[in-house]
Amino acid sequence: MQTNPTYTSLVAIGDSFTEGMSDLLPDGTYRGWADLLAGRMAARTPGFRYANLAVRGKLIAQIVDEQVGLAAAMQPDVITLVGGLNDTLRPKVDMGRVRGLLEEAVERLTPACKQLVLMRSPGREGPVQQRFRPRMEELFACVDTLADRHGALVVDLYGAPSLADQRMWDVDRLHLTAEGHRRVAEAVWQTLGYDPEDLDWRTPMPPTPPPNWTARRVADARFTRQYLLPWIGRRLTGRSSGDGLSPKHPDLLPYQGPTA
């Protein structure tokens, strides 16, 4: 890893985590850690170029089929790849296939960039995470193995206490808040070798009194009505939240900053 490197371009690929949900801008679009990271890198390098091919809901097979080839063809300095977590959350998943597809992606991307960045995705505290934790950890073990084999960097968000805090997660309980995305951007920034801007990104927020029983039940009912039931409905009908959506930054162009 270089110290304060000079990178001229970044391509981010993946699912909703890399698209930026739930870091909502006033115009209704999402920002997220990848946009924040690109803005920092652009501030250091005139003419810095950025593309974000991530689309919410994508499984690792779709990322490989729809994004990996495009990212490799762009030949950027840095590529970030985060995928496979949506697969682990499915009731039935072939983890051997997931590992094989992730390996294919890494093998295709490594020669196409100066630095490939992989991640151990953050995990929210709670019973749902506990149910899927063995699959997640199997996925992350694969990430570590591939990084060692191909010289990729790994950003360990899963091991960061701050990002396990429920307050870092939006009401849908699947996506980080703006503060969560800011901390992820800082984590990737430091992993790439830049001087830290926040040495305490791993440190949890100060404790606050937990919500009372009524507030928890209201939040649970809202979550079930607005997020859980629609998610189950999509699983039963084979639909995805990303169906018909295009990447927000599909071309490798000079970074322009957020639109709002």
pLDDT digits (tens, 9 = 90+) for 128-139: 567 788 999 999
Own/partner pairs, 128-134, CB within 8 angstroms, 24+ separation: 128/173, 132/88, 132/89
Q: Is 17 helix (H, G, I), strand (E, B) or coil?
A: helix
8 A C-beta contact, residue 207 and residue 166? no
pLDDT (0 to 100) of residue 104:
98
168 Cβ contact partners less than 8 Å away, ≥ 6 residues apart: 122, 124, 162, 176, 177, 179, 180, 183, 205
Per-residue model confidence (pLDDT) at position 124: 82
Q: What is the band of 244 on the pLDDT scale with cuts at 50, 70, 90?
A: confident
State the average pLDDT for the chain.
89
The mean pLDDT value for 88-100 works out to 93
Task: Please write the tens of the pLDDT for every residue from 57-86.
Answer: 999 999 999 999 999 999 999 999 999 999
- Give the mean pLDDT of 118-125: 90
Residues 175-224: pLDDT tens digits?
Answer: 999 999 999 999 999 999 999 999 999 999 888 777 776 766 766 567 66
Average the pLDDT over each of 5-9, 192-196, 239-243 and give the range with the smallest value.
239-243
First to last CA, the chain: 34
Cis before 22 (ω within 30): yes
pLDDT at res. 214: 73
Question: Which residue bears the tokens 């591939």?
Answer: 146
3-state secondary structure of 73: helix
Band (pLDDT 50/70/90 cuts) for residue 260 is very low
Residue 259 confidence class, pLDDT cut points 50, 70, 90: very low
